[in-house]
């Protein structure tokens, strides 16, 4: 990891990704076009091309669900049930209710809350398994009242879906699971095929191809967010255990080579101590080569003068995960303006939030916490405005409406009012 200063952060130059993004777009748009044109045939073709797997049955069968349940350990079943219950409990607090109020006699206004009909959930897979993401993305949809939830996830080398993922999907209440991943899965969910149901909204994280595909289908369907590489930012004072900090940084670095592990601290000596612990623990990781690449490309420890500099840095980074490992952290949370999730104290590591605490781990990345929120029940609901005026109430406002309509040159709007006022055909 590099050790830099507060000034170094604001002096950094942005890299030019235009050429690589153009190539990515070309590939993704080609995939989307082929899926729209040939449906299942294209989905099967691209799964063979990119994953080297020939899929015969795109839908996970009841038998496969049964086999998955039998193959996982009792200890995992207990752990995933505990996670399920915590996630469900937290997200039930987010339920919104319809409401109405009477502004004055004859005028009733309000808002009706209703769930989205059909949702697609993308869960990364293939070489890795993320049953936790299954729970995080499906449980809020179920609580919102979504009737049909279709999940896509890449198959393993044997053409099957990881049994832990299937168990989590069944526990969460999925409608159907498809054995596909990548941009082709996003296109299939967005536009439908003979086998795959078209949905109204797509949620869930994925690789660069998945993220780009979500961007391109947005408008034809809704999406939750465009997720980038995972990030962690740890703000640590001299009393925070360096070996805790190192472990937390590595917990993100092991995700993939593009993950972003950042630490902010107040002394050069502390920065060196953290770096030393990171180097020591790195050798113990099974995914050492991935974490090492992440640390080399994006790993930084920033040394700042005080809390003002620290929080200025944090709010500019707007990290996906923020850990406050400093004294009086609970009293300083209000200084954080932009972060996906905030973890307070030495015993609230990001890994706790990933799996068990309850709040959602599908979070805004790449600085989008400036304007985005974690996935939640609210992402699966729609709001309709309710307006009811009596005759007397409308006539009392008629002149104001006509005045605005005429000013805008929309005389049809004005007539829609005057015809009611004058009661002439």
Helix (H, G, I), strand (E, B) or coil at 375: coil
Active site residue 321: yes
Q: How many angstroms separate the CA atoms of 274 and 259, rounded? A: 18
**Which residues does residue 387 pair with via DSSP β-bridges, in sequence order?**
109
Kindly list the distances between the CA atom of residue 294 and the CA atoms of 257, 259, 291, 344, 387, in Å, as whole numbers in the listed order. 4, 6, 5, 25, 53
Residues whose CB falls within 8 Å of the CB of residue 189, separated by 6 or more in sequence, listed in order: 120, 122, 150, 152, 196, 197, 198, 199, 202, 221
CB 274 within 8 A of CB 245: yes
Q: How many angstroms separate the CA atoms of 1 and 300, rounded? A: 5
8-state DSSP, 145: T
Judging by DSSP bridges, how do beta strands 201-203 and 176-178 pair with one another?
unpaired
CB 416 within 8 A of CB 398: no
- Given the residues 231, 292, 309, 320, the one annotated as active site: 320
Active site residue 104: no
**Which residues does residue 234 pair with via DSSP β-bridges, in sequence order?**
263, 323
Judging by DSSP bridges, how do beta strands 99-104 and 107-115 pair with one another?
antiparallel
Helix (H, G, I), strand (E, B) or coil at 5: strand
- Given the residues 84, 91, 255, 321, the one annotated as active site: 321
Q: How many angstroms separate the CA atoms of 110 and 121, rounded? A: 31
- The token pair at 193 is 């095929």
Q: How many angstroms separate the CA atoms of 156 and 174, rounded? A: 20
Which residues belong to the active site? 320-321
């Amino acid at each position: 990891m590099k050790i830099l200063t507060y000034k170094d952060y604001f002096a950094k130059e942005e890299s030019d990704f235009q050429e690589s993004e153009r190539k990515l777009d070309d590939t993704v748009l080609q995939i989307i076009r082929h899926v729209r044109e040939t449906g299942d045939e294209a989905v099967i073709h691209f799964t063979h091309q990119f994953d080297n797997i020939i899929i015969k049955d795109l839908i996970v069968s009841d038998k496969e669900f049964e086999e998955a349940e039998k193959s996982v350990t009792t200890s995992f079943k207990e752990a995933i049930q505990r996670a399920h219950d915590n996630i469900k409990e937290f997200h039930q607090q987010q339920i919104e209710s319809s409401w109405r109020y009477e502004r004055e006699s004859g005028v009733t206004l309000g808002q009706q809350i209703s769930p989205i009909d059909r949702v697609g959930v993308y869960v990364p897979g293939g070489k890795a398994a993320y049953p936790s993401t299954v729970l995080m993305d499906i449980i809020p949809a179920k609580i919102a009242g979504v009737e049909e939830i279709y999940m896509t996830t890449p198959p393993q080398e044997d053409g099957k879906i990881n049994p832990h993922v299937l168990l989590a999907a069944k526990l969460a209440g999925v409608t159907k699971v498809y054995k596909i991943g990548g941009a082709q899965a996003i296109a299939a969910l967005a536009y439908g095929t003979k086998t795959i149901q078209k949905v109204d909204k797509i949620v869930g994280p994925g690789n660069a191809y998945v993220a780009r595909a979500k961007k391109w289908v947005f408008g034809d369907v809704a999406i939750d967010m465009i997720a980038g590489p995972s990030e962690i930012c740890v703000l640590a004072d001299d009393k925070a255990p360096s070996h805790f900090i190192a472990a937390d940084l590595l917990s993100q670095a092991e995700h993939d080579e593009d993950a972003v592990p950042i630490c902010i601290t107040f002394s050069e000596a502390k920065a060196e101590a953290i770096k030393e612990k990171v180097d020591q623990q790195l050798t113990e990781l099974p995914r050492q080569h991935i974490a090492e690449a992440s640390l080399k490309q994006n790993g930084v420890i920033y040394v700042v003068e005080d809390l003002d500099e620290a929080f200025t840095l944090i709010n500019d980074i707007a990290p996906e995960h923020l850990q406050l490992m400093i004294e009086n952290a609970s009293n300083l949370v209000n200084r954080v303006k932009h972060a996906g999730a905030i973890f307070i104290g030495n015993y609230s590591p990001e890994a706790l939030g990933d799996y068990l605490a309850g709040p959602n781990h599908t979070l805004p990345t790449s600085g989008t916490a400036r304007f985005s929120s974690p996935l939640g029940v609210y992402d699966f609901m729609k709001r309709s405005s309710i307006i009811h005026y009596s005759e007397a109430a409308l006539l009392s406002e008629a002149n104001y409406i006509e005045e605005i309509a005429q000013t805008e040159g929309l005389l049809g709007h004005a007539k829609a009012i005057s015809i009611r006022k004058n009661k002439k055909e």
